[in-house]
Amino acid sequence: MAALTPELKARFDAETSQHRVVLYMKGNKLFPRCGFSAYALAALQAAGADVHTVDVLAEPDVREAIKEYSGWPTLPQAFIGGQLVGGSDIVRDLAQSGELQKLVKGGG
C-alpha cells in the first residue's frame, strides 16, 4: 500500500506552500535526533531562515510518505518556496556557496 495518502499529499502541499522554509527531520528544533538533521537545521537558521520543522520520528506515517511525495529517499529533506532543495549535503553545499541565503530570502 502506498504510504502517500491523498490526505498526506494535501498536507505536504499546504505545509510547503504556507511556510517558505520547511525541514522534514528527525527530532525537533530543541532536540534534533540525527546529526544530519541537526546540521541542516543549523545551516538553514544561519542563512536567516525561519524554519518550520516536522519531526518524522513523532509521525511515523510522515516518515515514509514524505519520501514518496518528494521522490527523495533520505531524511532530512528541506523545501524552500515549495520546492525540494535536497538533503543535508545539498544544504551544506548551498550554504558554502552563499546560495542558501539567497534562496531563503527569495524574491528574484
User: 84, 95, 100, 103: which one contacts another protein (CB under 8 A)?
Assistant: 84
Cell of 77: 529533506
Span of 9-17, 42-50, 53-61, 83-91 interacting with another protein by CB under 8 A: 83-91
Instruction: Fill in the amino acid letter for 42.
Output: A
Q: How far is the CB of 89 from another protein (least distance, A)?
A: 5
Q: Does 86 bind another protein (CB under 8 A)?
A: yes
Span of 4-12, 13-21, 43-51, 87-95 interacting with another protein by CB under 8 A: 87-95
Q: Do 86 and 98 contact (CB within 8 A), yes or no?
A: no
In angstroms, the CA 91 to CA 71 distance is 17
In angstroms, the CA 2 to CA 6 distance is 10
Q: How far is the CB of 69 from another protein (least distance, A)?
A: 14
Cell of 89: 549535503
- Which residues of the shown chain bind another protein in the complex (CB under 8 A)? 36, 71-74, 84-90, 93-94
